[in-house]
């Protein structure tokens, strides 16, 4: 047994209740995640974009900012927004989502999908009057289907959780976990910083936030959801890569499972989840960049289970997963608008 091939034949269905297209609004449409959201929703079979809001680019054509969308849309960035939508995507910076919701009254019938970290942790999920469900479909799919609002997971958090959840689901995380992961430059956002300039990033590699990355909090929260007694250290060393997009994470922990048992466990856990695939073959970033997929490689070395998890930080790690959550919330095919082509070469 080497890898799982999934036969998922559901076709896209209209929004629940026989209604027309889902009306979507985007707050913060000029950044990386906002741009990816626009690219997906412009081609989504069940969505109409009501507006894309941007303070800095109001009045400009979207294609003047996201130049690859020239010929795909004549929409302009809006200075104002309306609550006459079905779903509102918050593609804003950390801290800004809470400020936006504190300053603006959004009706309860409008579903909010927040891509910041503001509401991901349980203790923060009710900082506003809204209730947020943690939106990792491979963990909370049934809860997402009936959720009022979604806190979209972080990019590193998604990649690492998908590498560890099957073990936690069987109470098998009984030793320290060691993780090294490298992310592309888009993970730092669009605002320039000393470590995001091309002249610094190109032909370079650096460690940052060793052992105390902020995504460890949501990773620990999810692992304890499946394995309540989990109390071992997660030793996480993140790297800044000299490439644009994608995350590759390697992780290992001591385990009594054989490689065959580990593969069977992972394939069983992700059976029916259309974007996460398991193999014991070698994997690389070009297989998943520009897609909403996560590939997981599972191997056994002596007494250690060795896991590699790869995904696109802007899609499965942000905007793609947000649309996946929207699909679940509105009763659509989970893959609607997300059948995307990998870079490949």
Mark whether 155 is an active-site residue: yes
The alpha carbon torsion through 112, 116, 118, 122 (nearest 10 deg) reads: 80
Q: Among 91, 155, 159, 294, which one carries the catalytic annotation?
A: 155
Task: Classify the phi-psi angles of 82: left when phi > 0, otherwise alpha if psi is within -120 to 50, otherwise beta.
Answer: beta
Instruction: Look at residue 298 and give its three-state secondary structure.
Output: strand
Instruction: Look up residue 238 and give its two tokens.
Output: 């993140």
What is the per-residue DSSP string for 50-65? Answer: EEEE-SSSTTSBHHHH
The counts of H helices and E strands in the chain are: 9, 13
Instruction: Look up residue 60 and give its two tokens.
Output: 């400009």
Name which of 177, 176, 157, 206 is nearest 307 in CA terms. Answer: 177
CA distance 34 to 56: 13
β-pairing verdict for 177-183 and 247-254: antiparallel
CA distance 65 to 319: 18
Burial of 126: CB neighbours in 10 Å, binned 0-12, 13-18, 19+: exposed
Q: Tokens 């490949």 belong to which residue?
A: 344
CA distance 179 to 176: 10
CA distance 119 to 150: 8
CA distance 239 to 237: 7
CA distance 82 to 50: 8
Name which of 93, 26, 74 is nearest 53 in CA terms. Answer: 26
The catalytic site residues sit at 155
């Amino acid at each position: 047994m080497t890898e799982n091939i999934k036969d998922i034949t559901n076709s896209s269905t209209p929004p629940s209740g026989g209604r027309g297209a889902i009306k979507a609004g985007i707050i913060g449409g000029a950044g990386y995640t906002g741009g990816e959201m626009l690219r997906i929703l412009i081609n989504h079979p069940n969505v109409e974009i009501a507006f894309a809001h941007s303070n800095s680019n109001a009045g400009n054509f979207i294609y003047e900012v996201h130049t690859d969308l020239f010929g795909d849309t004549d929409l302009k960035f809006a200075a104002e927004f309306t609550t006459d939508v079905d779903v509102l995507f918050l593609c804003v910076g950390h801290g800004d989502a809470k400020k936006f919701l504190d300053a603006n009254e959004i009706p309860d019938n409008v579903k909010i999908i927040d891509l910041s970290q503001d509401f991901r942790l349980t203790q923060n999920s009710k900082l506003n009057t809204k209730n947020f469900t943690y939106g990792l479909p491979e963990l909370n799919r049934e809860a997402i289907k009936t959720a009022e609002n979604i806190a979209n997971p972080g990019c590193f958090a998604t990649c690492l959780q998908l590498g560890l959840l099957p073990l936690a689901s069987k109470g098998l995380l009984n030793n320290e976990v060691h993780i090294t992961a490298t992310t592309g430059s888009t993970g730092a956002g669009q605002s320039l910083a000393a470590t995001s300039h091309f002249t610094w990033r190109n032909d370079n590699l650096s460690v940052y936030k060793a052992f105390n990355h902020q995504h460890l909090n949501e990773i620990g929260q999810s692992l304890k959801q499946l394995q309540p007694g989990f109390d071992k250290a997660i030793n996480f060393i993140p790297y800044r890569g000299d490439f644009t997009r994608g995350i590759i994470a390697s992780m290992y922990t001591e385990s009594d499972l054989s490689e065959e048992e580990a593969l069977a466990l992972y394939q069983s856990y992700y059976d029916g989840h259309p974007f996460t695939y398991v193999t014991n073959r070698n994997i690389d970033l070009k297989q998943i960049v520009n897609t909403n997929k996560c590939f997981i490689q599972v191997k056994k070395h002596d007494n250690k289970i060795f896991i590699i998890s790869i995904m696109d930080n802007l899609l499965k790690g942000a905007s793609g997963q947000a649309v996946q959550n929207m699909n679940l919330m509105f009763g659509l095919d989970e893959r609607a608008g997300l059948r995307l082509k990998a870079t490949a070469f």
